[in-house]
Amino acid sequence: MIRAEGNRLAHLANGQLRTRASDPLPQRLAGLADALDALLAEHRPAAAAAEEVFVNQNPASTLKLAHARGVALLCAARAGLPVGEYAPTLVKKAVVGTGGASKEQVHAMISRLLPGTKIAGPDAADALAVAITHAHHLASARRLTR
């Protein structure tokens, strides 16, 4: 989670929600929903953003990711939040400057954009990149409507 005021970005929180792989999928998704609902209630964001699902070489992994993404979108909708959705290549281009950036490049750029932030891993860096992309998108949209 970030705060964006004008061109300034401030880190609020980041992390990775984990579930037990041995639990049935419905139970894992319910746990994810509970954790996201708690985070949204605690931080009360004004908006949410999500990365669009990309199809990788493992269809089962893609499907599980899509389920988790659906839970995240549902939680945001129940909280009344507008949600921005962005393709992974657009996020990388917005943050790093190239749509083919590696996870390491994204992590390094997030560290530069949010100095002093302890990033909880590559997935957390990706989530912060999506949040920054959304903040930039909203700022551009506001400038265009003036």
Is 51 noted as a catalytic residue in this protein? yes
The CATH superfamily label for domain 87-146 reads Ribonuclease H-like superfamily/Ribonuclease H (3.30.420.10)
Rounded to an integer, the average pLDDT of 10-31 is: 96
Is 126 noted as a catalytic residue in this protein? no
Of 52, 104, 123, 126, catalytic: 123
- Tens-place pLDDT, residues 102-121: 999 999 999 999 999 999 99
Hey, CA dihedral for 118, 12, 87, 95, is it positive or negative? negative
Assigned token pair, 105: 């490049």
Has residue 6 got a pLDDT over 90? Answer: no
Same fold for the domain at 20-86 and the one at 87-146? yes
* Domain range list for the chain: 20-86, 87-146
- Tens-place pLDDT, residues 57-109: 888 888 999 999 999 999 999 999 999 999 999 999 999 999 999 999 999 99
Q: What are phi and psi of 64, to 5 degrees?
A: -65, -40
Assigned token pair, 119: 């990033």
20-86 CATH fold: Nucleotidyltransferase; domain 5 (3.30.420)
Other CB atoms within 10 A of residue 100 CB: 9
CA distance 5 to 67: 32
Binding residues: 51, 123
Of 5, 51, 52, 85, catalytic: 51
User: How much is the pTM?
Assistant: 0.91
CA distance 55 to 59: 7
